[in-house]
Amino acid sequence: MKHHLPPLDSLKAFEAAARHLSFSLAADELCISKGAMSYQIRKLEEQVQCALFKRTVRQVYLTDAGQELLRTTKHMFEELNHTLQSLYGESRQTAVSIATSTYVAARWLSPRISEFNEGNPDIAIKLLHSINSTDYKLSDVDMAIEWGACNQKPDRNQLYQIPMDLFPVITPKLMEKLGISMANPLDVHSILEDPLCTVPLLCEERQLDFWDEWTAASLPGLENKLQNPRRIISDANVRVQAAIDGQGIILADSLMSNEIDNGLLVRPFKECLQGYGYLLKSSSSRIFSSQANTLKNWFLK
């Protein structure tokens, strides 16, 4: 059946730029010039007849159309990669596999992998973004970076912990629209009052919704839960963009420092939720290759 899909190069360029929220980083990943990257994105936007990115001086951000296309291309490339891997079988050189979200990969892991590659150029690393998939199993990868409870006795699968406090952030544009001054942090009780009590809380699926825990830690003795409407956005990068666009309040961690430092998001309250973070894990039953062992030891040094 004849199709009218955009060229694969344009989709690859879009997916990389959307994942990094940077044309420069995406161009480096695909080994093309920044001009070529901009051309591919512009050609794609012309074909779909809408803007996929908002351009600023320092960074680019996804439009609503871009967020929708990212979800589709991400799923498409994951399925294509899975099929190709099954066709390749064991004939290709084994790479060290790390499962994590695109959010953690772009904001925490990527610069560390770049540093590792400088001293270990012969070790290939394969990043898998299926960690939130129902098919994900820790035993299928060499290592994984998962969100979970920290500051507790690590289980046998944990290599080390990366603690991250969680705290609410909101775009200054929305605060101005609500008529709230951000000269100083607000009293935490104001989230129970109008107008903040009507602002949507951006979150993941219910089992990963930490708003009630943040409320319990910040407002001890409060009998009722927050009454704000919840808006579920599974992809963390899309959730951050939604907060920047003024769709609601999001629980942030220090991986959002770029948006906070640039004033795109601000902390309305000083209170935070502790005890969680990212966990570098590996199945206790997995036998490491020499390459995987080298990377593990590098992380732990």
pLDDT for res 287:
81
- How sure is the predictor about 296, in pLDDT bands with cuts at 50, 70 and 90? very high
Question: Distance between alpha carbon 213 and the CA centroid of its chain, in Å?
Answer: 21
Alpha-carbon span 153 to 8, nearest angstrom? 46
- Is residue 169's pLDDT more than 90? yes
Instruction: Write b or e for each residue in 37-52: b if 16 or more Cβ atoms lie within 10 A of its Cβ, otherwise e.
Output: beebbeebbeeeeeeb
Name all domains of the chain by residue range, CATH numbers in brackets: 8-85 (1.10.10.10), 96-147+280-300 (3.40.190.10), 167-273 (3.40.190.10)
Which is it for strands 249-252 and 167-169: parallel, antiparallel or unpaired?
A: antiparallel
- Is residue 92's pLDDT more than 60? no
Neighbours of 133 (CB within 10 A): 12
- How sure is the predictor about 294, in pLDDT bands with cuts at 50, 70 and 90? very high
Hey, which bits of the chain come out as E strands?
53-55, 60-62, 96-99, 125-128, 143-149, 158-163, 167-169, 201-203, 230-232, 249-252, 276-281
Cα separations in angstroms, 96 against 115, 133, 143, 201, 284: 16, 20, 8, 37, 16
Hey, which bits of 71-207 come out as E strands?
96-99, 125-128, 143-149, 158-163, 167-169, 201-203
Q: Is the CB of residue 73 less than 8 Å from the CB of residue 15?
A: yes
Name 182's Cβ contacts closer than 8 Å, sequence gap at least 6: 172, 175, 266, 268
Q: Which of 39-43, 118-122, 166-170 has the highest mean pLDDT?
A: 166-170
- Is residue 91's pLDDT more than 50? no
Alpha-carbon span 22 to 166, nearest angstrom? 25
- Is residue 206's pLDDT more than 50? yes
Alpha-carbon span 262 to 208, nearest angstrom? 27
pLDDT for res 222:
80
pLDDT in tens, 239-285: 999 999 999 999 999 999 999 999 999 999 999 999 999 999 998 88
- How sure is the predictor about 87, in pLDDT bands with cuts at 50, 70 and 90? low
Q: What is the mean pLDDT of the chain?
A: 88
Phi-psi region of 85 (alpha: psi -120 to 50; beta: other; left: phi over 0): alpha
Alpha-carbon span 33 to 28, nearest angstrom? 8
pLDDT for res 221:
83
Identify which of 57, 249, 254, 50 has the alpha carbon closest to the alpha carbon of residue 163. Answer: 254
Alpha-carbon span 217 to 190, nearest angstrom? 15
Angle subtended by helix axes 236-244 and 64-88, to nearest 10 = 170
Q: Which two structure tokens, joined as six digits, stand for 131? A: 């960690």
- Is residue 207's pLDDT more than 80? no
pLDDT in tens, 183-197: 888 999 999 999 999
Residue 166 backbone dihedrals phi, psi, to 5 degrees = -110, 135
- How sure is the predictor about 165, in pLDDT bands with cuts at 50, 70 and 90? very high
- Choose between 133 and 206: higher pLDDT: 133
Which is it for strands 249-252 and 125-128: parallel, antiparallel or unpaired?
A: unpaired
- Is residue 115's pLDDT more than 70? yes
Neighbouring-strand partners of residue 62: 53
